[in-house]
A and B are shown apart, each in its own frame.
Chain A
Amino acid sequence: MTNTLAKPTGNVSVDTSELSSAGLTRTRRNILSGIGEPVALLGALVVLIAIFSALNPRFATITNLQNVLNQASLPIIIGVGATLVILIGSIDLSVEGVMAASGVAFVLMSANTRGGQDMGIWAFIVPLALGIVLGAANGLIYTLLKVPSFIVTLGMWFIGFGIATILYGTDAYPELTNETLTQWAAKIELGLPNVFWLAAALVIVAALVLRYTRFGRAALAIGNNEDIARANGMPVRKHKVTTFIIAGALSGLAGILATMQMGGTSNHIGEGYLFLTLPAVVIGGTALSGGKGGVLRTFLGVILLTVLNNGLVLAGVSPNFQSALSGAILVVAIVAAAWSQRGRLRIAK
């Protein structure tokens, strides 16, 4: 035990040798602690990449890498919100409904093949606000009426989808006419697609918030035991509502981006995203029971699943087999990820 207290910061000054003599030493936070799972994930990723590269030389090309990152970006963005929600032991199933509502609102407010007015910046603000409102509704109903988040957000999925269906109406499929919008996501900037830069920035911001702010500390405490968090004066309800608002806003953003990627939208724009994102969060190592995990892990989880899907396609696996195969791999991976905690796995609140 040669460590001594770090230099006191600010105006605290105490004889540090005296403190360490009490047997209490300042320890550098062990950087390696808890890194086992991410390392396993990285290992799995390396193995997958090696196999797929051997199967098809086109896999390990810059273009395909850019393609993979482009595909991974939306699940990553949704995964940031999902991770914040799952960390507190809740779940948000409304993602696809919110995406649909925001996506349809976005296309109809932008220059599109149905005509209508191009609302400029409002075409972004309104769909985002829609996501925020639906997320806030999730959080408020969940916390005020004490309905399980599972139920509330499932209901909100239908509401979002309903809003999208009403907005969409019965006219022809609306396509964006502005090529700047339709090409923005995949456009390569400094070697990587724009949308991936956006996703990566959101991951970094969320990781920093979780690590260095009261919000992040509260997320871990609430996820572990919200009664304890409340008893210690943490703003549990406010934290939960804020979390669902962030998740809603990110779903709204994903709806906009999905529409830009597709060049248009229908009320089905969100379909399939939740199915990809939630397993990615779990594979990344964020516990469904709450209190453990983080967005960097989710990032790795999404990349892993996207590489898997992409590699299977390039390896020539028929689409029929592909979904069965990736499903099977998913189950194995999730069981492996959750194995250490099978004793304390409870249904998400």
Chain B
Amino acid sequence: MAEPLIRLQQVTKSFGPVDVLKGVDFEAYAGKVTALVGDNGAGKSTLIKGLSGVQPYDGGVVSFEGREVHLTNPRQASSLGIEVVYQDLALCENLDIVQNMFLGREELKQGTLDEAAMEFSAIKALQSLSVRTVKSVRQKVSSLSGGQRQTVAIGRTVLRNAKLVILDEPTAALGVAQTEQVLNLVRRLADNGLGVIIISHNLADVFQVCDYISVLYLGNMVARLETVKTTRDEVVAYITGTKVLEGVNE
């Protein structure tokens, strides 16, 4: 198998006396969607915050594109090509789609905002994801549905030349049709060659769109499964701790 885009080896994280990540191995590949599942409190968010640089790990080795990296702040993670789409989406409601997609990275021409170029790139990015749900890129975000907002947030990662996109519960607040749209978008990200990590509680979503499933249980990575070779029951067993992978020490 090809080299992983990102590889975590024995990463640890503690908050005071509480060991939240107890030596976790994890990897994700370019062009593939990897699910990160686990019960509440398993450590999923903590694992992701380490990857995004928001909350650096205490120990372990992180390699990105085969090179060891130290992820210590969000800007640096972003400059490597790691982008996170957070649950609350981080969009400004009073700004339009283009303005949000370029938030904090506005393009300039002679010192002033180059709206035409930004609009053009935003459309290109959305088009690369075959987005059809957005009528005008000059709509304000406040007028968009939850699914359209996810679309904008995901499109923004493309604009930022992300290599690895991490999505935290991207469909949690969405209805059936919109969930479908967002999952299609996630799939298309991977088909465009990006690595995708998706945190989800919804196993139907996971089985529909993911290539691999990694299961965290109380700070340990208890399983790394290929979606086509596993079953929902098996994943549930790992999540609930009724099944424990051999060789993983508690």
Contacts and interface: CB of A to CB of B under 8 A. Distances in A.
A8 B105 CA distance: 20
Contact of B132 (A22, A216, A291): A22
Interface in B88-143: 90-95, 99, 103-106, 108-109, 111-114, 116-117, 119-121, 123-124, 126-127, 130-132, 134-138
Interface stretch (A71-79, A123-131, A229-237): A229-237
A225 B119 CA distance: 23
Contact of B127 (A19, A234, A292): A19
Contact of B75 (A8, A233, A291): A233
A224 B138 contact: no
A213 B119 contact: no
B113 A19 contact: no
A273 B91 CA distance: 37
B119 A26 contact: yes
B31 interface: no
Contact of B126 (A12, A24, A232, A234): A24
A30 interface: yes
Contact of A29 (B105, B120, B138): B138
Nearest to A34: B140
Contacts of B121: 12
B104 A6 contact: no
B165 to A, nearest CB: 16
A27 B103 contact: no
Given A5-B120, A224-B94, A217 B113 contact: yes
A321 interface: no
B168 to A, nearest CB: 13
Nearest to A26: B119
B118 to A, nearest CB: 10
A152 interface: no
A25 interface: yes
B146 interface: no
Contacts of A114: none
Contacts, number: 103
Contact of B113 (A24, A212, A228, A229): A212
Contacts of B138: 27, 29-30
A220 B123 contact: no
Contacts of B135: 23-25
Question: Would you call the interface of chain A mostly helix, strand, loop, or mixed?
Answer: loop
A221 B92 contact: yes
B123 A224 contact: no
B74 interface: yes
A102 B214 CA distance: 65
A179 to B, nearest CB: 41
Interface string A203-223: 000000000111011001101
A24 B129 CA distance: 12
A217 B93 contact: no
26 contacts: A9-B114, A10-B109, A10-B117, A12-B121, A14-B124, A19-B124, A22-B131, A23-B134, A24-B136, A27-B136, A212-B113, A213-B111, A214-B106, A214-B113, A216-B113, A217-B95, A220-B95, A221-B104, A224-B93, A224-B94, A228-B90, A229-B103, A231-B90, A233-B105, A234-B103, A234-B104
Interface of A: 5-6, 8-10, 12, 14, 18-19, 22-27, 29-30, 212-214, 216-217, 220-221, 223-225, 228-229, 231-234, 291-292
Given A27-B137, A228-B91, A229-B103, 18 more contacts: A5-B123, A6-B116, A14-B120, A14-B124, A22-B127, A22-B130, A23-B131, A24-B123, A24-B127, A26-B120, A216-B113, A217-B95, A217-B99, A220-B94, A228-B92, A229-B92, A231-B74, A292-B94
